[in-house]
Chain A
């Protein structure tokens, strides 16, 4: 049995030697969800990164602690990665909307509002930065939503990359849930600013 300097590990009573483990099966770590957070009221939701999770509600639990435990937050959205439609990436000075092929009018969708759904649109303004929410459009398909986004937000520049998400696919925190984040700023023990040790060093040097 493995004896460790870590009492937690010793309690695991691990065998001394074991055969090498088989490789993990596909999806052992689940699919991924992309997470967006809002740092302040009335500001855009911004992409923070993915979490591995079996379902959206678990992804929310995971996203909350992975991406908002250390910074102020007022809301969070999660969406299954495969539910996001992604354009190609342009250069930093361009707009990828300029490269969109024009869809025939019948594919953009008819005036008949019954087939329309809401889509959320996210822009990347600069390579290496994070996608931010710019607004919603109504459309009959993700492709049509992209065209509609071009009409609504195409004048913004630069736009390096666009994500299109069917609004119904986004799991959003409730306004009532904001209190889950109220004490984040109180957790000073995990902030650099609460460790002030210069006085102690100065005192030591004087006494030394």
Chain B
């Protein structure tokens, strides 16, 4: 696949699917104020994905609505982390923490992309992602130093989520060209920065970061291989849209 398309689809699908998942918390959060904050970040993710699908559209792909609401599992390039059900709040927070650290670093790097339209988007959403990471850090630090119950839950969530989080950095065949053309620094370098970034926060908590080299990353998402959770998600998301994909809703 064309390296631009390859990169954009991965980024856009991640944000769409995670934004969709996180919106499931809307109205069900642990405290009203957090409910509001979490919804804002889910909306931001949808907004980011829309901007990226628009770049894809400019490159000749279908309209954002068509791309988002009519494809099926094998055509999605999100990492499997994003498609897992919301679970309990410990998991959703941990996923948010691990994903958004990578996302902030990714967009900071993309601000220097040789592909100017993408660099522009990256520079624009930097402030939003800064809030997302501040939010995630505050919660992980608080819960990761709180009651025994909270520390146990967050530790379990960390251990469960990490192999999926490592799947964020799964590369595709386009990776060498993505790097050589200056589109993006590449997943290996991103992962290196991410490890440093999450380690710094976790070091301020009672949580223990396992040796990442001993974990087996859950991959496949970037190549259209997904968990059993993605297709039901897509069917649900498109339930109304697919009643008539040509209609104006």
Give yes or no for direct A-B contact (beta carbon below 8 Å). yes
Interface residues of A (CB under 8 A from B): 7-8, 11-12, 29-30, 51-55, 57-58, 61-62, 64-66, 69, 177-183, 186-187
The answer to whether B131 touches A180 (Cβ under 8 A) is yes
The answer to whether B40 touches A54 (Cβ under 8 A) is no
The answer to whether B125 touches A183 (Cβ under 8 A) is yes
Contact count band on B = 20 to 34
User: What B residues does A62 contact at CB under 8 A?
Assistant: 33-34, 36-37
> Is B247 part of the binding interface, using a Cβ–Cβ cutoff of 8 Å?
no
User: What B residues does A11 contact at CB under 8 A?
Assistant: 24, 85
Total A-B pairs, Cβ < 8 A: 58
Dominant secondary structure at the B interface? helix
**Contact check: which of A30, A55, A64, A186 meets B131 at CB < 8 Å?**
A64
Q: What are 12 A-B contacts defined by CB distance under 8 Å?
A: A11-B24, A30-B31, A51-B33, A52-B31, A58-B138, A61-B135, A62-B33, A64-B37, A65-B36, A66-B33, A177-B130, A187-B43
The answer to whether B124 touches A183 (Cβ under 8 A) is yes
> Is B214 part of the binding interface, using a Cβ–Cβ cutoff of 8 Å?
no
The answer to whether B142 touches A180 (Cβ under 8 A) is no
Interface hits, B1-34 → A, CB 8 Å:
24, 28, 31-34
User: What B residues does A57 contact at CB under 8 A?
Assistant: 138
The answer to whether B128 touches A8 (Cβ under 8 A) is no
User: What B residues does A177 contact at CB under 8 A?
Assistant: 130
The answer to whether A7 touches B236 (Cβ under 8 A) is yes
Q: How many whole Å from B43's CB to the nearest CB in chain A?
A: 7
User: What B residues does A53 contact at CB under 8 A?
Assistant: 33
> Is B47 part of the binding interface, using a Cβ–Cβ cutoff of 8 Å?
yes
The answer to whether A181 touches B40 (Cβ under 8 A) is no
Q: How many whole Å from B222's CB to the nearest CB in chain A?
A: 27
Nearest CB in chain A to that of B233: its residue: A7
CA distance A46 to B208 in the complex (A): 42
The answer to whether A61 touches B127 (Cβ under 8 A) is no
> Is B153 part of the binding interface, using a Cβ–Cβ cutoff of 8 Å?
no
Nearest CB in chain B to that of A64: its residue: B131
Q: How many whole Å from B204's CB to the nearest CB in chain A?
A: 13
- A182-B138 in contact given A29-B31, A65-B36 (Cβ < 8 Å): no
With contacts A11-B85, A61-B138, A183-B125 known, what are 20 further pairs, Cβ within 8 A? A7-B236, A29-B31, A52-B31, A55-B142, A58-B142, A61-B135, A62-B33, A62-B36, A62-B37, A64-B37, A65-B39, A177-B130, A179-B126, A179-B127, A179-B130, A180-B128, A180-B130, A182-B124, A186-B124, A187-B47
User: What B residues does A66 contact at CB under 8 A?
Assistant: 33, 36-37
The answer to whether A52 touches B32 (Cβ under 8 A) is yes
CA distance A177 to B85 in the complex (A): 32
Interface hits, B164-190 → A, CB 8 Å:
none
Nearest CB in chain B to that of A55: its residue: B142
The answer to whether A65 touches B142 (Cβ under 8 A) is no
CA distance A57 to B195 in the complex (A): 25
User: What A residues does B40 contact at CB under 8 A?
Assistant: 65, 69
> Is B134 part of the binding interface, using a Cβ–Cβ cutoff of 8 Å?
yes
CA distance A58 to B39 in the complex (A): 16
